[in-house]
Amino acid sequence: MEKRSVDSRVRGVSTGTTILAATFDGGVVIGSDSRASIGGEYVSSKTINKVVQVHDQIFCCMAGSLADAQAVTKAAKFHLSFHSVQMETPPLVIAAASVLQELCYNNKEELQAGFITAGWDRKKGPQVGAGRGDSHTGSRDTAVQSNSTYWRVAAVLIPCVPLQVYVVPLGGMLVGQPVTIGGSGSTYIYGYVDAKYKPNMSREECLQFATNALALAMGRDNVSGGVAHLVVITETGVEHVVVPGNKLPKFHNE
């Protein structure tokens, strides 16, 4: 049913998505919108949570085909749980991102899912990483050029001490950055993120920054919307913040 080739629109239920992760002083904020759509024409769910917990203090955001992303995170969750029992210590964020990377890269022909990993581990503290698992590379740029491409990247944001988020986009690359955005909606907020992100913000500043970014992306991207799911991860624990659609910040054009 799904025609998985270059330039085709993602068929089946997919997440036209906006996901992001950003590190602040002492933790990481990872967040996403909540809309799932089919082919960009029908909203199949207004309230899915794309921020998935893969371990106690490690979360990932999924982008791309929802089915693929869920299958990958399920496998990663199992793998990480086994790994942490074997090592007798919670896994490092880089280990979680690497597990996702292996899954994305080795199955890149079949998968269309990318991740942002963020979390906290005792070695490096808060970190963020992004990874993409897909046979289509350079999706962000392609999305800008062609209206009908909805490349999504799931980013797994893992907060760690040297604030770093790991992004595993489609294709299975692994990159650590202080802030990262992904999904089709991310193209509309690159400017905002580049201009407004500052390293070592406070928790409130970072939450406000993330909420604003999600709101702006959801306002312009037709396949992102719903509520904003945010998770704040610090050394002491994890906190979920949900901002319903009508409470999102409004900007001048609304």
Q: Which is nearer to another protein, 104 or 223 (CB)?
A: 104
Which of 28, 34, 72, 102 touches another protein by CB under 8 A? 102
Q: Is residue 81 near another protein by the rule CB under 8 A?
A: no
Q: What's the rounded Cα separation, in Å, for the pair 197 and 192?
A: 8
Q: Is residue 108 near another protein by the rule CB under 8 A?
A: no
- Binding segment toward another protein, per CB under 8 A, in 53-61, 89-97, 181-189, 232-240: 89-97
Q: Is residue 174 near another protein by the rule CB under 8 A?
A: yes
Q: Is residue 97 near another protein by the rule CB under 8 A?
A: yes
Q: Is residue 86 near another protein by the rule CB under 8 A?
A: yes
Beta carbon of residue 94, minimum distance to another protein (angstroms, whole number): 4
Q: What is the DSSP string of the chain?
A: ----STTPPPPSEEE---EEEEEETTEEEEEE---EEETTTEEEES----EEEEETTEEEEEEEEHHHHHHHHHHHHHHHHHHHHHHTSPPPHHHHHHHHHHHHHHTTTT-EEEEEEEEEETTTEEEEEEEEEES--SHHHHHHH-TT-------EE---SS--EEEB-TT-EEEEESEEEESGGGGGTHHHHHHH--TT--HHHHHHHHHHHHHHHHHH-TT--S-EEEEEEESS-EEEEEE-GGGS---TT-
- Binding segment toward another protein, per CB under 8 A, in 39-47, 85-93, 143-151, 238-246: 85-93
Q: For this structure, is 187 an active site residue? A: no
Q: Which is nearer to another protein, 128 or 201 (CB)?
A: 128
Q: Is residue 163 near another protein by the rule CB under 8 A?
A: no
Considering only residues 198 through 237, tell me which ones interact with another protein, judged by CB under 8 A.
Answer: none
Which of 26, 27, 64, 91 touches another protein by CB under 8 A? 91
Number of residues that bind another protein (CB under 8 A): 15
One symbol per residue from 29 to 68: x for binding another protein (CB under 8 A), - otherwise; what is it? ----------------------------------------
Q: What's the rounded Cα separation, in Å, for the pair 210 and 214?
A: 6
Which residues are known catalytic residues? Answer: 17
Provide the binding-site residues for another protein, judged by CB under 8 A.
83, 86-87, 91-92, 94-95, 97-99, 101-102, 122-123, 174
